[in-house]
């Protein structure tokens, strides 16, 4: 019986680059938006955004590693269809939401409800950003030694 071919996924260094670039872009968007939404200073929003960014970078690394392992287990590859990219973005943001709401409430001295509503608005923006960023990242930094395959089949 032959062994299945080894599926190549992203290296740890590539995952770190992905997380850092993702968060730099997000910070450039989040600080001005946060200043408007919370009527807070750039330093307050900036410090909060940096803490949230550090949390998000750790989550980004862990989530993408687990998601890729799940893709390999389910499909024996990591090629993402449009539908899988949407699931990826939604699951990423929902997981992050569980941690960010209490941090926002505490750091900006607002209620959990207000932090939740504001974070939901931000998540809607972040979903579009995450989908677009990841699509662009995959085009700019493809996984090495991976031959393009036909579109992966999704379970019915």
pLDDT at 148 over 80: no
**How many angstroms separate the first and last alpha carbons of the chain?**
29
CB-CB contact of 96 with 111 (8 Å): no
Task: Return the pLDDT at 26.
Answer: 85
Inter-axis angle of helices 42-75 and 82-108, to 10 degrees?
Answer: 150
pTM: predicted TM-score of the whole model, two decimal places: 0.63
* Structure-model confidence comparison of residues 30 and 147, the more confident one: 30
DSSP 39: T
Model confidence at 69, pLDDT cuts 50, 70, 90, reads: very high
What CA–CA distance (Å, rounded) separates 87 from 16? 22
Cβ atoms of 100 and 119 closer than 8 Å: yes
Residue 133 in tokens: 């960023």
Tens digits of residue pLDDT in 24-47 = 898 888 889 889 888 889 899 999
């Amino acid at each position: 019986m032959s062994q299945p071919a080894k599926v190549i996924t992203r290296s740890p260094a590539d995952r770190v680059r992905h997380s850092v670039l993702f968060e730099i872009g997000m910070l450039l968007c989040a600080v001005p938006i946060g200043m408007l939404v919370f009527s807070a200073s750039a330093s307050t929003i900036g410090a909060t955004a940096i803490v949230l960014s550090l949390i998000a970078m750790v989550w980004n690394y862990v989530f993408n590693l687990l998601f890729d392992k799940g893709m390999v287990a389910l499909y024996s590859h990591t090629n993402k269809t449009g539908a899988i990219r949407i699931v990826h973005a939604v699951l990423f943001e929902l997981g992050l939401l569980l941690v960010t709401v209490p941090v926002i409430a505490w750091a900006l001295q607002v209620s959990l409800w207000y932090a939740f509503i504001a974070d939901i608005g931000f998540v809607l923006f972040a979903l579009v950003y995450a989908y677009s960023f990841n699509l662009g990242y995959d085009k700019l930094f493809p996984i090495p030694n991976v031959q393009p395959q036909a579109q992966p089949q999704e379970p019915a």
